[in-house]
Amino acid sequence: MKLYDLTIHELRRLLDQGETTAEEVTGTIYERIRMLEPRVAAYLSLAEERAMEEARSWDKQGYGDTTKPLAGVPLAVKDVICTKGIRTTCGSHILANFVPPYNATVALKLKEAGGILLGKTNMDEFAMGSSNENSAFRPTRNPWNLDRIPGGSSGGSAAAVAADECIAAVGSDTGGSIRQPASHCGVVGFKPTYGRVSRYGLVAFASSLDQVGPITKDVTDAALLLNVIAGYDQRDSTSVPKEVPDYRENLLEGLAGVTVGIPREYFVEGLVPEVERAVRQAIKTLESLGARAIEVSLPHTEYGVAAYYIIAPAEASSNLARYDGVKYGYRDREGKTLMEMYRKSRSEGFGAEVKRRIMLGTYALSAGYYDAYYKKALQVRTLMREDFLTAFRQCQALVTPVAPTAAFPLGEKVDDPLQMYLSDVFTLPASLAGIPGISIPCGFTSEGLPIGLQILAPHFEERLALQVAYNFEQNTDFHLRRPPL
Ligand code: GLN
């Protein structure tokens, strides 16, 4: 038995039966981290001493408390989520030495449920990117092929899960940052409905889009983690005061009577044949399990990239104004005037992509351009949301590819921002509409790279996405394969 490749539910069973201890599992995973990190580079910080201490304390206390579903489970957290006393960099030089004085609500909930924080995972700077190459520190590599990107921006979390350098992880998704890296790393990634999970203590990128969610080895774990982190939080005014169902409850329900919509706009030029084949095959599998598949249309899909890359940078330009060298983060010491200090702190602290977004966003919000760009983008966003609402009158869930290609080579798109942005084409619409979406493994390319299937559901119908995903997973074995490390 390899302790590191367990899922949450498997590990909990072993702990409950006394077949292993939290200390043993946590120690084993740190050994694996030491062995693999020189190649994978999924983590930015580790909290080993603290984690081992917590593990021992769980072993002493026992795991029986049902309010602690994660007791003794070692987890990784994306470095955009504030962790009290543990460095939180957002993958940026400007926060390279930032140690938050408080926990994000998500971090707190994981801790209160008994989760053990192994460390903080690598990401594109301020979650801006699709490849992890925008990390100010170093790129994470794809465990399936070390010359490929793991996806982004939660690439560190996805790679850590895929490489068994943690039992499960959390990431954040603004335009695909959970789903796309999960797809490229062959694991499960779930972006809940906007407002389902608190954003308090999640460093803001684009506040009308940001959402936290699980990255796990299987669908059951995604449901389990969502159970822990979902729910209203009075500290986040956009979190929704809606009851949180037990997301594991209807996993076992079959697909008879479920209609899945296949949006024709997601099968267009640019989608490579191998990925299309795997997704079409997955749809056949769903049909064989009792689902009815129908073609639907989301006519405004083609405007998603353009709208997102106005709205997200606009919000980012405003959110990132707080990094002024005064309140926290990097401060230039040489500037002679206040203005010079601001300018130098920001010029030296931010990387190229972040600066590009600040400029794009500032431009789109400036007088004279606001109506032409920002307002227009918001109008497109409304139309895209309506597309989804219309489609969901004909079906309960939508099934699509996650990304047009499997993981691309490191360096391939890094100097071509537009190509990088276009790779988000299938994940951005759900973010703009605020609906939940899960990415699950559905195949491999001839080169052995994972391919993901995206399942989208109506607002707050996470259960439907999980149900479709679980049925697929239980009848296939893609999620059981491990990278050859
Ligand atoms: N790749 C998209 C971007 O660069 C999405 C990132 C995210 O979801 N955080 O903005």
How many whole angstroms separate alpha carbon 77 and alpha carbon 368? 41
Segment 433-446, tens digit of pLDDT: 999 999 999 999 99
Residue 290 binned pLDDT confidence (cut-offs 50, 70, 90): very high
Q: Which two tokens stand for residue 230?
A: 């979902």
Report percent pLDDT > 70 for the chain: 100
Domain boundaries along the sequence of the chain: 3-254
Count the neighbouring beta carbons within 10 Å of the beta carbon of residue 96: 16
Question: How close is the Cα of 428 to the center of ligand 1, in Å?
Answer: 8
Segment 357-368, tens digit of pLDDT: 999 999 999 999
At 297 the pLDDT is 98
Segment 297-351, tens digit of pLDDT: 999 999 999 999 999 999 999 999 999 999 889 999 999 999 999 999 999 999 9
Segment 370-400, tens digit of pLDDT: 999 999 999 999 999 999 999 999 999 999 9
Q: Which CATH architecture has domain 3-254?
A: Alpha-Beta Complex (3.90)
Distances (CA, A) of 19 to 62, 71, 167: 13, 15, 17
Segment 102-124, tens digit of pLDDT: 999 999 999 999 999 999 999 99
Segment 28-71, tens digit of pLDDT: 999 999 999 999 999 999 999 999 999 999 999 998 888 999 99
* Catalytic annotation, residues: 78, 153, 177
How many whole angstroms separate alpha carbon 339 and alpha carbon 333? 12
Q: Is 415 exposed, middle or buried (0-12, 13-18, 19+ CB in 10 A)?
A: exposed
Q: What is the rounded average pLDDT for all residues in the chain?
A: 97
Task: Report whether 150 contacts 142 (CB < 8 A).
Answer: yes
At 356 the pLDDT is 98
Q: Is 424 in the pocket of ligand 1 (CB under 6 A)?
A: yes
Task: Report whether 74 contacts 167 (CB < 8 A).
Answer: yes
Distances (CA, A) of 276 to 35, 86, 159, 272, 404: 36, 42, 24, 6, 8
At 219 the pLDDT is 98
Residue 1 binned pLDDT confidence (cut-offs 50, 70, 90): confident
The phi-psi region of residue 248 (left if phi > 0; otherwise alpha if psi is between -120 and 50; otherwise beta) is alpha
At 327 the pLDDT is 87
Q: Which residues contact 18 (CB under 8 A, 6 or more apart)?
A: none
Q: Is 26 in the pocket of ligand 1 (CB under 6 A)?
A: no
Question: How close is the Cα of 421 to the center of ligand 1, in Å?
Answer: 8
